[in-house]
Chain A
Amino acid sequence: VQLLQSGGGMVQPGGSLRLSCEASGFSFSNFAMSWVRQAPGKSLEWVAAITGSAGTTYYLDSVKGRFNISRDNSKNTLYLQVASLRAEDTGTYYCVRWNQKFENWGQGSLITVSP
Chain B
Amino acid sequence: EIVLTQSPGTVSVSPGERAILSCRASQSVDLSHVAWFQQKPGQAPRLLIYATSTRAAGTPDRISGSGSGTDFTLTISRLEPEDFAVYYCQHYGGSPYTFGQGTKLDIK
Contacts and interface: CB of A to CB of B under 8 A. Distances in A.
Interface of A: 34, 36, 43-46, 49, 58, 60-61, 94, 100-108
Interface string B43-80: 01111001100001000000000000000000000000
Interface in B62-108: 88, 90, 92, 95-102
A49 B95 CA distance: 9
A80 to B, nearest CB: 15
Interface of B: 35, 37, 44-47, 50-51, 56, 88, 90, 92, 95-102
A49 B97 CA distance: 10
Nearest to B101: A43
Q: Which 8 A-B pairs have the closest CB atoms?
A: A101-B50, A105-B44, A46-B97, A44-B99, A58-B95, A43-B101, A43-B102, A43-B99
